[in-house]
Structure 1
Amino acid sequence: MRWKPDPSGHDPRQIDLLAVVAMLIVIVAVGHYMTEHPKPHLTSFVEPSQTVRW
């Protein structure tokens, strides 16, 4: 593909490069999310046998 200047001043290859970078960021973020170990919950639960007074 030959480079042809666009009247608006944008090179179509810049948009393609931006799309590739955005996809790489999404892939890395999803990979990090999928491999992250679940963190233990630090909340305490009230057992039904306990009495709570507010």
Structure 2
Amino acid sequence: MGWKISHDGHDPRQIDLLAVLALLLLIGAAYLYFEHRPDTPNNTAFIVPSQSVKW
């Protein structure tokens, strides 16, 4: 099957290439978004279960 390049518009291969690049960019951005873990503060209070609270 030979190449069919139309002279009146964009080459369909260019659109396919742009779509593939956009998908790769989207996958990379989603990976970075979901893998980013904000630093949790270490000064959080820990409640010991044996402690009782009087109201």
- Bin the TM-score by the shorter chain: 0.5 to 0.7
2:29 matched to which residue of 1? Answer: 29
Instruction: Calculate percent identity across the aligned residue pairs.
Output: 52
The residue type paired with residue 33 of structure 1 is Y
Equivalent AA in structure 1 for residue 16 of structure 2: D
TM-score relative to the length of structure 1 = 0.62
| Root mean square deviation, CA, Å | 1.6
Question: After TM superposition, what 4+ stretches of structure 1 lie above 2 angstroms from structure 2?
Answer: none
Instruction: Give me the TM-score of the superposition, normalised by structure 2.
Output: 0.61
Q: Unaligned regions of 5+ residues in structure 1, if any?
A: 41-54
- 1:9-48 equivalences under 5 Å are 9-39=9-39
Letter in 1 for 2:17: L
> Which is higher, the Rg of structure 1 or of structure 2?
2
Aligned residues: 40
